[in-house]
């Protein structure tokens, strides 16, 4: 009697195990189909976006290389920059009378020119955006380029065009959500890929190896699986940060559930003083230096109206974002009085999270090493797509092969 009960229990355990295996097999087939479908269609977009991201990892260097005659300068062995007022005066003298100054960005390194952006309204009520480059050692204009004509993307220089493609697929800023939606699907696909990667026998080390001497089909499979698992974490971070920036209002709203996030800063308005001329840009920077005596002068946003203010940005050495700065001081253009201070050291956890999205996405938070990693990660989608497509084709061919051979 006891033996019969034991046999029945064993049979139940075996049946239960078989049912669990069948459910697992069904789940894997469903996940594999979803992973394959997303990969074949959304993966093609991922390849192009990844390649453009690889290029943009070193976008400043590439832009300078392509435009060396106007963007690069000869750095004297022992020389200092001319005053900011002299640099800006040189740009103003070369500008058309109806040009409106927008920003002065300091050189990235000793061999770079200072960049001044200004806008000109055209006869058809559009706006042309120009970028002028001034040698900071001589205060002489190096050259000028049209940065943007109205909203015509292809009027931009090459690197900004690649940036527009990377963010919006050249569909316009209002349609960036399309790329964001594709990125969400790819994020899901990578998570499914991690699930499918897990070896059934529990020996995870097999999933990290590539059998170089195996058949072509097995080699393709191993490369796809190994590249996918090695790059999975970085790809997930890249997709997550990209989606978070594309859907920025939603990201801010969700972040506020966990930590306060203030609105974008209002740097105030200048108070017009009768008979008092505006102060120079050098004096505005001097006012900001009293607030942030340390750090590197990154940019000066210039007043565009009588009530406009100077916004002086001093970038700290530990700031993750190298493209912009979150240490900014609003300065009254007449009195030189400090009107508002944005200090990243006073950021909440939520604000620091938002600050880190862009430098994580571009890799610039970790310098040249981080940018190099982003470059390599940008190439990973191409490898995954090619090997995934070949794997899919191998499977299709195998299904079409006759299973029974009849001898006549």
Cβ(189)–Cβ(31) below 8 Å? no
Cα 130 to Cα 100: distance, rounded to the nearest angstrom: 10
**More confident site: 27 or 165:** 165
What's the pTM? 0.88
Cα 341 to Cα 337: distance, rounded to the nearest angstrom: 11
Q: What is the pLDDT averaged over residues 203-209?
A: 71
Over residues 348-406, the pLDDT tens digits come to 999 999 999 999 999 999 999 999 999 999 999 999 999 989 888 877 777 766 655 44
Q: Give the whole-number percent of the chain exceeding pLDDT 70.
A: 91
| Cβ density class 58-68: b for 16+ within 10 Å, e for less | bbbeebbeebe
Q: Give the whole-number percent of the chain exceeding pLDDT 90.
A: 71
What average pLDDT is seen over the chain? 90
Query: Can you spell out the DSSP letters for 346-357?
Result: G--HHHHHHHHH
CA distances in angstroms from 222 to 46, 208, 383, listed in the order given: 21, 8, 12
Which of 226-235, 267-276, 335-344, 397-406 has the weakest average pLDDT? Answer: 397-406
The C-alpha angle 232, 238, 240, rounded to 5 degrees, equals 100
Q: What is the pLDDT of residue 408?
A: 39
Over residues 258-304, the pLDDT tens digits come to 999 999 999 999 999 888 889 999 999 999 999 999 999 999 999 98
- Residue in the block written with tokens 């993966």: 43
The domain defined by 264-347 folds into: Nuclear Transport Factor 2; Chain: A, (3.10.450)
Q: How confident is the model at residue 109 (pLDDT cuts 50, 70, 90)?
A: very high
Cα 101 to its chain centre, rounded Å, is 27
Q: What is the pLDDT of residue 403?
A: 55
Q: What is the pLDDT of residue 209?
A: 78
Domains of the chain, residue spans: 19-58+170-259+367-398, 71-156, 264-347
Kindly give the interhelix angle for 59-66 and 158-168, rounded to the nearest 10 degrees. 150
Q: What is the pLDDT averaged over residues 6-18?
A: 59
């Amino acid at each position: 009697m006891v033996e019969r009960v034991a046999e029945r229990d064993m049979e139940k355990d075996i049946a239960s195990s078989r049912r669990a295996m069948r459910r697992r097999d069904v789940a894997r087939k469903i996940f594999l189909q979803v992973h394959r479908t997303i990969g074949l269609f959304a993966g093609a977009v991922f390849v192009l976006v990844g390649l453009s991201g690889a290029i943009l990892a070193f976008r400043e260097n590439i832009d300078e290389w392509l435009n060396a005659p106007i963007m690069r300068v000869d750095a004297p062995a022992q020389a200092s920059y001319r005053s900011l007022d002299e640099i800006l005066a040189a740009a103003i003298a070369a500008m058309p009378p109806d040009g409106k100054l927008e920003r002065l960005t300091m050189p990235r390194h000793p061999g770079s020119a200072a960049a001044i952006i200004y806008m000109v309204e055209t006869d058809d009520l559009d706006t042309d955006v120009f970028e002028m480059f001034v040698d900071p050692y001589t205060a002489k204009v190096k050259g000028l380029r049209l940065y943007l004509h109205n909203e015509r993307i292809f009027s931009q220089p090459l690197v900004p065009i690649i940036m527009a493609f990377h963010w919006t697929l050249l569909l316009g800023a209002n349609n960036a959500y399309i790329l964001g939606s594709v990125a969400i699907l790819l994020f899901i696909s990578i998570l499914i890929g991690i699930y499918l990667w897990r070896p059934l026998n529990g020996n995870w080390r097999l999933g990290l190896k590539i059998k170089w001497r195996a058949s072509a089909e097995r080699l393709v499979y191993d490369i796809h699986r190994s590249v996918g698992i090695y790059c999975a974490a970085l790809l997930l971070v890249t997709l997550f940060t990209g989606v978070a920036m594309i859907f920025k209002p939603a990201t801010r709203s969700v972040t506020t559930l966990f930590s306060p996030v203030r609105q974008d800063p209002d740097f105030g308005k200048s108070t017009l003083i009768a008979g008092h001329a505006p102060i120079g840009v050098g004096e505005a920077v001097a006012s900001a230096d009293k607030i942030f005596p340390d750090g590197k002068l990154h940019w000066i946003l210039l007043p565009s109206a009588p009530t406009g203010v100077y916004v002086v940005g001093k970038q700290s050495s530990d700031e993750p974002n190298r493209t912009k700065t979150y240490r900014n001081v609003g300065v009254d253009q007449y009195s030189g009085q400090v009107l508002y201070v944005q200090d990243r050291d006073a950021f909440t956890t939520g604000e620091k999270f938002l600050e880190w999205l862009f430098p994580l996405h571009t890799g610039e938070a970790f310098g040249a090493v981080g940018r190099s990693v982003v470059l390599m990660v940008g190439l990973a989608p191409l490898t995954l797509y090619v090997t995934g497509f070949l794997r899919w084709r191998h499977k299709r061919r195998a299904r079409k092969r006759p299973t029974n051979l009849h001898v006549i």
